[in-house]
Amino acid sequence: MTTQIGLVFFIAAIGLCVIGIGGIVLSRNLFRMVLALAIAEAGANLLLVLAGYRWDAVAPILSAGQMPAPMVDPVPQAMVLTAIVIGVGVQALALTLVVRVKQRYGTLDMQLARERMNAEIDATADVTPPRSQERPRGERPLPAPAGGAHD
């Protein structure tokens, strides 16, 4: 019974990591990336807790006049506490950066923000960007977007 519950937790932890990492890699919205990061970190933390967990044990608190019973390994728990704190700090920093990006570039779209960033770096460095598929020679007119073409 307990091993089955453990298996559920393991699957949950790995699932959270996969969802989170997938979210970071696949999503274009900056805010969603931060959320995905939070999910991935939760998965990693859960996995660390599970590394030292025992189902038949008590919390690792030793008080006077008490017989030592089987205890949960306290080391991963201490580590996870640290990792959670670090995670919160990094996520808060990420959110302040998201706010700044939105203020400066007016977008939460990673691809757009990245294009504008590269254009800005190119402009400060005084380099003309290389020609590519998206930027054909001679600036052919691109087809008008489907919606809002009549206004």
User: From CA 51, how far away is CA 61, in angstroms rounded?
Assistant: 19
Among 9, 12, 109, 116, binds another protein (CB under 8 A): 116
Among 7, 104, 131, 136, binds another protein (CB under 8 A): 104
59 to 98: interface string for another protein, x by CB under 8 A: --------------x-xx--x--xx--x--xx--xx--xx
Instruction: Choose the binding region for another protein from 35-43, 59-67, 133-141, 143-151 (rule: CB under 8 A).
Output: 35-43
Question: DSSP characters for 87-114?
Answer: HHHHHHHHHHHHHHHHHHHS--BHHHHH
Write phi, then psi, for 109 (nearest 5 degrees): -90, 120
Q: How far is the CB of 55 from another protein (least distance, A)?
A: 16
Please list the alpha-helical segments (H only) found in 27-55.
30-51
26 binds another protein (CB under 8 A): no
User: From CA 58, how far away is CA 56, in angstroms rounded?
Assistant: 7
Instruction: Choose the binding region for another protein from 1-9, 48-56, 57-65, 135-143 (rule: CB under 8 A).
Output: 48-56
Among 48, 60, 71, 77, binds another protein (CB under 8 A): 48
Helix (DSSP H) and strand (DSSP E) numbers for the chain: 4, 0
